[in-house]
Chains A and B, each alone.
Chain A
């Protein structure tokens, strides 16, 4: 290859944690910078090289009209567009506002609400433009990020697991906290990728990586309810960092009996 492929990192509504994962590849960062041109990455460099780009990494969700327009422009600039993390992939924790009155939200935080322009929803990037690949997690797993970059450099599709956190628990030989202790755990319906971190630390999975392929979330929450777990607790459990992921949303709406107030961008 005569010219290095160009990588760009774009931010929408988010905490910066997923793009930080690239800088957290301390051992590999300089090698990555050698293999690809990190052409656009505001958090890491001042000189920003114009597109088009070979790989576009998108962090964050769409919460303003301006951002809804910006993602369309970015899509045109990027050959391979990848969403990184729960915000970009499902709308993130800020999608909780989809269930509430956005005006009321603004009024409760800001003294002069008319200075704030925000959409009533927080939506996934894929609700606005076609996405070529998604990296799950809140935050993403940096090993998956490196796998993504290296596989794209080799011209193959990245491989990330689509099975559940349970498989990782078994592999780690963690005793199942749902079975042994009756704790409501989202592991059975959550996509692997964190190495089943939370159960290994004696606590429930709370779904950072979003729904796994073909999950049956409602069957799981029904089971927990039969075991005596409070329905409101289950609503909150399924309504957190991936609240707007369709399978989690369906379960939390059924549990709470209240669908979101605003149009969730589910088209």
Chain B
């Protein structure tokens, strides 16, 4: 093995969006790790300025085709806070049901098509289907049910059109929603099988002293509401988010990269952090199966994130069943009326990939004067690099191709969404001269 090595992945695969990894080694020492986010920037925060309040959830959805609901929910609640609008419990419930659809769809995609192939030794979900056909087909059907839920509530799965500030343009037809119950019940049982499958995978023994950050709510597993908590002892309302977390801009990235202040340290957001902080709030089946799955939580091994996602899929199905059963379609109004007015509003929700923060200022003209959006992947970027610095020394005995593959696997623990973080991946390994 040469004294100086480089590993590089010029285009990371099975992630959403475009990035690269570059690792430079001097002997056994990791000299430099760089997560290069070369996805071209799209400047959403700039072109939101001057737009109408009602346009915002339609526009922010376009930040990400995989998790548009996360953007829509966070936008709506933040703007409602600015406008002093309080939505009804029925609208909250439908929004939670919509978010369940996105968690099911996004997690099922990641578990089966993007991440499980790493554990089972395949280069894609499609090639994995040749030997694990039933598992892949089950995963696709789970994903489809999530998408059907999104379509019923949002009009379509990608970039839903039925979400608005104040509620929904049209309340869903109870008969249509209840028609989905048999599929949701199948999904609950099938997702338990998925958890049993993924918890049997072999996990690299790789632990980090993560500062887990997520929302926590005493009555429910966090999606749209809660306080921001961290392993380091933070417990704050959404409005104080910016006092504790700040974005930095690094040379190698079109993503901004968040740190916890004042110490400027990395932190982890996403399913593992949520399970660690909110185990008590899981739905009964999710909690029972999580206790029986053989992985103990809290966990500081982010390879367990695939298990955390599977637990969350169970939770989302079980909650969706309850919400659909409770829905009787007798919404007094599908949306609350409001008038534009100047003001500022913040909100934090839990996207499938983790915490997401939005802040908007509405001007005297009733148009958006300022927008700030902090997606989950830019918050995780610093932590991904910290993980790599600690992980690379554990793969030094592997040849370059194998070491690179293992690093990509580790990055996929984060389900990075580079399209989101661009405002946001390449893997490159340098064991000597940079090419």
A16 near B66 with CB under 8 A, answer yes
Q: With contacts A26-B144, A116-B41, A197-B155 known, is A16 near B59, CB below 8 A?
A: no
Report yes or no: B113 in contact with A108, Cβ–Cβ below 8 A. no
Query: Is B140's CB under 8 angstroms from A97's CB?
Result: no
User: Is there an interface contact between B249 and A110, defined as CB atoms closer than 8 Å?
Assistant: yes
Chain A, interface size: which category?
35 or more
**Are B140 and A109 in contact, with the CB atoms below 8 A?**
no
> Would you call A26 and B141 a contact (CB within 8 A)?
yes
User: Cα distance A241–B62 when bound, in Å?
Assistant: 9
Query: Which residues does chain A contribute within 8 Å of B26, judged by CB atoms?
Result: none
| Binary contact readout A28-43 vs B (1 if CB under 8 angstroms, 0 otherwise) | 0110010000100011
Q: Is the CB of B159 within 8 A of A105?
A: no
Tell me, in angstroms, the Cα distance from A241 to B161 when the chains sit together.
13
Task: Check B161 against A197 for contact (C-beta < 8 Å).
Answer: yes
Q: How far is the CA of A92 from the CA of B64 in the complex (A)?
A: 13
**Once the chains bind, are A93 and B59 in contact (CB under 8 Å)?**
yes
Interface size band for B: 35 or more
Q: Which of A29, A97, A236 has the largest count of B CB atoms less than 10 A from its CB? A: A29
Contact with A along B136-148 (1 / 0, CB 8 A): 1100110110010
Residue of A nearest to B108 (CB): A26
**At the interface, yes or no: B197 with Cβ under 8 Å from chain A?**
no
Residues 91-110 of A contacting B (Cβ, < 8 Å): 92-94, 96-97, 100, 104-106, 108-110
Q: Which residue of A lies closest to B156 (CB)?
A: A197
Task: Tell me the bound Cα distance from A178 to B41 in angstroms.
Answer: 36
Q: A residues within 8 A CB of B192?
A: none
Whether A15 is near chain B, meaning CB under 8 Å from some CB there, is yes
Q: Does A69 contact B (CB under 8 A)?
A: no
B170: which of A20, A112, A202 is its contact (CB, 8 Å)?
Answer: A202
How many angstroms between the C-alpha atoms of A151 and B51 in the bound complex? 40
B413 to chain A: closest CB distance in Å?
16
Task: State the Cβ distance, A61 to closest chain B Cβ, in Å.
Answer: 9
Q: Which of A23, A96, A197, A202 contacts B47 (CB 8 A)?
A: A96
Contact with A along B158-192 (1 / 0, CB 8 A): 11011010000110000000000000000000000
A138 touches B159 (CB 8 A): yes
B52 with A139: CB separation less than 8 A? no
CA A29 – CA B117 in complex, angstroms? Answer: 17
Q: Does A153 contact B (CB under 8 A)?
A: no
User: Which of chain B's residues have a CB closer than 8 A to the CB of A138?
Assistant: 62, 159
B410 in the interface, Cβ–Cβ < 8 Å? no
> Which of B14, B156, B159, B405 contacts A44, CB < 8 Å?
B14
Bound form: Cα–Cα A63–B38 in Å: 12
B residues within 8 A CB of A96?
A: 47
Least CB distance, B261 to chain A, in whole angstroms: 14
Tell me, in angstroms, the Cα distance from A93 to B58 when the chains sit together: 11
Within 8 A of A (CB), among B125-139: 125-127, 129, 136-137
Chain B residues near A156: list those with CB within 8 A: none
User: Nearest chain-B residue to A32 (Cβ)?
Assistant: B126
Q: Judging by beta carbons under 8 Å apart, are B158 and A46 in contact? A: no
Interface residues of A in 175-232 (CB under 8 A from B): 194, 197-198, 200-203, 206, 208
Known: A13-B42, A115-B249. A24 touches B59 (CB 8 A): no
B254 CB-CB contact with A under 8 Å: yes
Q: Does A82 contact B (CB under 8 A)?
A: no
Find A100's partner among B45, B46, B117 (CB 8 Å cutoff).
Answer: B46
Contact A105/B155 with A15-B419, A38-B126, A206-B58 known, Cβ cut-off 8 Å: no
**Given A96-B47, A201-B155, A201-B170: A17 touches B127 (CB 8 Å cut-off):** no
B16 contacts A43, C-beta separation under 8 Å: yes
Is A109 touching B423 in the complex (CB atoms < 8 A)?
Answer: yes
- Flag whether B251 is at the interface (Cβ < 8 A): yes
Query: Counting chain A CB atoms within 10 Å of each CB, which of B15, B47, B136 scores highest?
Result: B47
Instruction: Quote the shortest CB–CB distance from A35 to chain B (angstroms).
Output: 12
Asked whether, in the complex, the Cβ of B51 is within 8 Å of the Cβ of A139, the reply is no
Q: Say yes or no for A170: interface residue by CB 8 A criterion.
A: no
A residues within 8 A CB of B46? 97, 100, 104-105, 108-109
Distance of A111 Cα from B256 Cα, bound (Å): 9
The answer to whether A233 touches B169, judged by C-beta atoms less than 8 angstroms apart, is no
User: Does residue A45 face the partner (Cβ distance < 8 Å to B)?
Assistant: yes
Contact B65 A18 (CB under 8 A): yes
Residue B342 CB within 8 A of the other chain = no
Give chain A residues whose Cβ lies under 8 Å from the Cβ of B253. Answer: 115
Is B40 located at the chain interface by the 8 A CB criterion?
A: yes
> Would you call A201 and B408 a contact (CB within 8 A)?
no
A108–B369 Cα distance when bound, in Å, is 12
The one of A15, A20, A47, A48 in contact with B63, judged by C-beta atoms closer than 8 angstroms, is A15
Going nearest first, the 10 A-B pairs with the smallest beta carbon separation are A17-B65, A45-B124, A26-B144, A96-B47, A46-B123, A26-B140, A139-B158, A94-B42, A13-B40, A15-B65
Chain A residues near B (Cβ < 8 Å): 11-21, 23-24, 26-27, 29-30, 33, 38, 42-48, 63-64, 67, 92-94, 96-97, 100, 104-106, 108-112, 115-116, 118, 122, 138-139, 194, 197-198, 200-203, 206, 208, 233, 236, 240-241
**What are 19 A-B residue pairs whose CB atoms fall within 8 Å in the complex?**
A13-B39, A16-B66, A16-B419, A17-B158, A26-B147, A30-B140, A38-B126, A42-B11, A44-B13, A45-B123, A47-B127, A93-B62, A96-B47, A105-B47, A116-B41, A122-B42, A138-B62, A198-B155, A203-B169
- Name B's A-contacting residues (CB within 8 A): 11-18, 39-47, 51-52, 55, 58-59, 62-66, 68, 109, 113, 117, 123-127, 129, 136-137, 140-141, 143-144, 147, 155-159, 161-162, 164, 169-170, 248-251, 253-254, 256, 405, 408, 417, 419, 423
* Additional pairs, 13, CB under 8 Å, beyond known A17-B66, A240-B59: A14-B419, A17-B65, A26-B147, A38-B126, A45-B13, A93-B59, A100-B47, A108-B46, A115-B251, A116-B41, A122-B42, A194-B156, A197-B155
